[in-house]
Amino acid sequence: MTTPHLLVTGGAGFIGGAIVEQALERGWRVRVLDSLRSDVHGAPPVIDPRVHFIHGDVTVPADVDAALLGVDVVCHQAAKVGLGVNFADAPDYVTSNEVGTAVLLAAMARAGTDRLVLASSMVVYGEGSYVGRHGHARPGPRRTVDLDDGRFDPVDEVTGDRLHPALISEDDPLDPRNVYASTKLGQEYLTTAWARSTGGRAIALRYHNVYGPGMPQNTPYAGVASLFRSALERGEAPTVFEDGAQRRDFVHVHDVASANLAAIDFTETAAEQFFRAFNVGSGTVHTIGEMAEALSAAAHGPAPVITGEYRLGDVRHITASSERIRSELQWMPAVTFEEGMREFATAPLRAAVHR
């Protein structure tokens, strides 16, 4: 394979930075476009001197045009992430994620850059996959009255039986249930339209729960792993919502970065336009409560506290089948849950964000 000239949007961020690091280790030429948003970066990050860094915004056409000069392939990580504070965040999500992606794709069409790897998310599925008395089922949104009464698990709407969670595949129905999820699916649809219109080659990687060194702290947009880790650093017990039995697939950021490089390699070998989505998970299932317990134990901190609280936009269970990416891209995760949690319990986090 040739040595690509890679553009990583959001390359100064948590996942983007890990991708940049692995690309540099391969000897690739790397350019980064990042706006260094203050609600993401508590302090300006240190940029590797081997990187051509452009301080610019993916929603600004001139910035994107400049960043694409001479680029062979784009890894699009720039996005506003997380569930958000409330619906007032919606315009920022749509602008950052969907408008930013549209601006990038239009610029790629102008520049003739025809290879893209997109950071997508498990949130496009909504609730995970379930099995009931009559086979596979996809429950509707959870009801406030049930959550208030501590009934967190979805039930069969016909029989009332509790549904049992199963692994979700890329062929399962898409059902985004909050603003962030809607914009991530919007990014996928825009990318599909771009590939069909221009003959481009694109992969969307649907990340499951990513964690690891360099996660942002002290922000309402951070993932639950960062919130637990930040609490332990303050000497406080992690607070776990619902009953802690929510099933997730926690995947280490180094594995997510290697999945991106595998996807970039795959786009080079493809002979014609396509769009393909892949789940990116560890392949092992753990509960949020188990993750909090593992972090507390590794950090020698206070035991987690189960609060019974909930966020209406959250889903109960979602765990990945990563069979497609393993078979088609020959990608395998390298970091086990136990290894990753031991490392993450004391690993440095990104500087605190002051709001």
pLDDT in tens, 279-326: 999 999 999 999 999 999 999 999 999 999 998 878 899 998 999 999
In a domain, 335, yes or no: yes
User: What is the span of the domain harbouring residue 222?
Assistant: 5-129+166-345
Say if 63 falls within a structural domain.
yes
pTM summary value? 0.94
Q: How does 119-128 read in b/e, with b if 16+ C-beta sit within 10 Å?
A: bbbbbbbbbb
Residue 178 DSSP symbol: S
Q: Please check whether residue 153 lies inside any domain of the structure.
A: no
* Residue 183 within any structural domain of the chain: yes
pLDDT at residue number 349: 84
In a domain, 353, yes or no: no
- Total domain count, the chain: 1
Amino acid at 117: V
Total number of residues shown for the chain: 355
pLDDT, one tens digit per residue, over 224-251 is: 888 899 899 899 999 999 999 999 999 9
CATH of the domain at 240: 3.40.50.720
Q: What is the CA radius of gyration of the chain?
A: 20
**Residue 72 Cα distances to 68, 75, 114, 118, 348, angstroms:** 8, 10, 8, 15, 33
Strand order of the β-sheet with 29-34 is 52-55, 29-34, 5-9, 73-76, 115-121, 201-207, 274-280
Q: Identify whether 39 is part of a domain.
A: yes
Backbone angles phi, psi at 19, to 5 degrees: -65, -45
139 assigned to some structural domain: no
Closest CA to 166 of 127, 208, 124: 127
Separation between Cα atoms, residue 287 and residue 244, nearest integer Å: 7
55: nearest Cα among 80, 36, 76, 31: 36
Domain membership flag for residue 49 = yes
**Tokens encoding 34:** 């990042």
At 353 the pLDDT is 59
Query: Which residue numbers in the chain have pLDDT < 50?
Result: 355
